Amino acid sequence: MALPLILVSNDDGITAPGIRMLVKVAKKIGDVVIVAPDGPQSGMGHAITIGNTLRLDRSIAFDDMDVEAYECSGTPADCVKLAKFHVLKDRKPDLVVSGINHGSNSSISVLYSGTMSAAIEAAIEGLPAIGFSLCDYGHEADFSHTEEFVELIIRQALEHGIPENTALNVNFPKKSEEPIKGVKVCRQAHARWQEEFDERLDPRNRHYFWMTGSFVNYDKGEDTDEWALVNNYVSVVPCQFDMTAYHAMATLNEWDL
């Protein structure tokens, strides 16, 4: 029986530690092909390259793992598009996985995330997809505690399938002395980044801005991804790309249009 074909991408770049963990797990389960950015693409959201050339080259980053790998000059969404229509034009992936991202993509961050945009792009193309992220921005972030849960979720997705037009947003709490309590299916928390712009001067005395700020959670529910992560659970949020606010349509239909 043929092994499932698993496409792996990310937004931190093909040499990032998180993607190596993801490939390690995926190789236990199926045949793996990697198409990932040639450098960091964090915060790119669902950007695609339309005004510049796209380059795609075989990568040596995973030669030690005997995996077919390509690095792309474009965004995470570009990587998935090129994978589907060029690299795998004669093969259809059974699953697309993205990550493991170096930092949280819970709540509102899903809109800015290149990691999740790779997964959402796969869902747009009719492919089941999962984005994985670790809530640790530290340079020496430890991904080891994610391994068993990544394997569990991938195997369950392949066995049961993912609903059509849906990508799963999976976030892991930062590693601590307390073991992860389990996995919770959640909704996206109502929260946002409160940005601040620090105005500075460069060496030529020109003004520039550095974006800073803090994350503010307005949601007190115990069924959200933020609650799950704070309480040391893995959060799984099913995401869709139909952004229609259906509840607002009745109000707009009352306008004199």
Which residues are known binding-site members for a divalent metal cation? 11-12, 42, 101
- Write out the binding residues: 11-12, 42, 101
Rg of the chain (C-alpha set):
19
Neighbour tally for 124: CB within 10 Å: 16
Give the residue from 153, 235, 232, 146 showing the smallest Cα distance to 187.
235
Peptide bond into 100 cis (omega under 30): yes
Locate 160 and state its tokens: 């049961």
Neighbour tally for 23: CB within 10 Å: 22
Neighbour tally for 53: CB within 10 Å: 7
